[in-house]
Amino acid sequence: MNKTGFIKKLEEKLGYDEGKCIIISSVIDDHFIVGVNNKDKIKADLKEKLEIGEEEADRIYNIVSETIAGGIKDKILHPFKKD
């Protein structure tokens, strides 16, 4: 999944506008790896940049993780499928 596709998926799943989804994508890019070690850092950045609470940051983090994992799974199962 390319960056534009990722942002569109976030818009669909989160119900946020493109601007907020771009910010979310940027936070994820800044941390490179979505994982247990970076979870608190990512959530802290999301809370600061989007001015949201802990619960919403956690919801966003979980949706981002699922979206990335789904994209990786699709690439493994369908390596020649175009985005």
pLDDT value of residue 2? 81
Convert the pLDDT of each residue in 34-80 to its tens digit: 666 789 999 999 999 999 999 999 999 999 988 888 765 455 555 56
Identify whether the C-beta of residue 35 lies closer than 8 Å to the C-beta of residue 46: no
pLDDT value of residue 77? 55
**Three-class SS of residue 1?**
coil
Among residues 15, 17, 13, 42, the alpha carbon closest in space to that of 30 is found at 42
pLDDT value of residue 74? 55
Instruction: Report residue 31's pLDDT band, with 50, 70 and 90 as the boundaries.
Output: confident
The secondary structure element, H or E, covering residue 47 is helix 36-50
pLDDT value of residue 78? 55
pTM listed for this prediction: 0.77
